[in-house]
Amino acid sequence: MSYVPGQPVTAVVQRIEIHKLRQGDNLILGFSIGGGIDQDPTQNPFSEDKTDKGIYVTRVTEGGPAEVAGLQIGDKIMQVNGWDMTMVTHDQARKRLTKRNEEVVRLLVTRQSLQKAVQQSLMA
């Protein structure tokens, strides 16, 4: 997941489909995000590379739609409904996730264990 400027970012990703839950007037997904290109990347406890300014999942509420869909804490969100999330500000990321007219969001997330699993299966 290290980022070399000018080169395309490659990662092993998992597709996660979250159906939003209606709570009163809001549609909630059940997790919290941190990170963004306007934030301080060194404070991120989940990233492997401390200069990574991507969007990370910092909390997942129990029993919420995100947990049901398989999202885990520490995941890095690469795409939301086709929109890129690796080079966005924090606010832009929030907006892309909380669009009022979307009931389902399809995320591409990556985590370190995915990469290791792929490597192990290749070697086996």
Partner 1 sequence: MDNESQYSGYSYKSGHSRSSRKHRDRRDRHRSKSRDGSRGDKSVTIQAPGEPLLDNESTRGDERDDNWGETTTVVTGTSEHSISHDDITRITKDMEDSAHLDCSRHLGVSLAGALALLAFLTPLAFMLLPQLLWREELEPCGTPCEGLFISVAFKLLILLLGSWALFFRRPKAFFPRVFVFRALLMVLVFLLVVSYWLFYGVRILDSRDRNYQGVVQFAVSLVDALLFVHYLAVVLLELRQLQPQFTLKAVRSADGASRFYNVGHLSIQRAAVWILENYYHDFPVYNPALLNLPKSVLSKKMSGFKVYSLGEENSTNNSTGQSRAVIAAAARRRDNSHNEYYYEEAEHERRVRKRRARLVVAVEEAFTHIKRLQEEDQKNPREIMDPREAAQAIFASMARAMQKYLRTTKQQPYHTMESILQHLEFCITHDMTPKAFLERYLTAGPTIQYHKDRWLAKQWTLVSEEPVTNGLKDGVVFVLKRQDFSLVVSTKKIPFFKLSEEFVDPKSHKFVMRLQSETSV
The site for partner 1 (CB under 8 A) is made up of: 28-29, 31-34, 38-40, 43-44, 58-59, 61, 90, 94, 97-98
**Residue whose tokens read 């991507």:** 54
User: Can you read off the two tokens belonging to residue 89?
Assistant: 């500000």
Closest distance between partner 1 and the C-beta of residue 124, in Å?
A: 38
Within 30-89, residue ranges assigned H as helices are 65-69
CB 23 within 8 A of CB 64: no
For the chain, give the number of residues: 124
Angle at alpha carbon of residue 41, lines to 6 and 115, rounded to 5°: 65
Nearer to partner 1, 61 or 113 (CB): 61
Write the DSSP symbol of residue 70: T
Nearer to partner 1, 12 or 52 (CB): 52
Closest distance between partner 1 and the C-beta of residue 35, in Å?
A: 8
Closest distance between partner 1 and the C-beta of residue 9, in Å?
A: 23
Nearer to partner 1, 1 or 97 (CB): 97
Nearer to partner 1, 1 or 57 (CB): 57
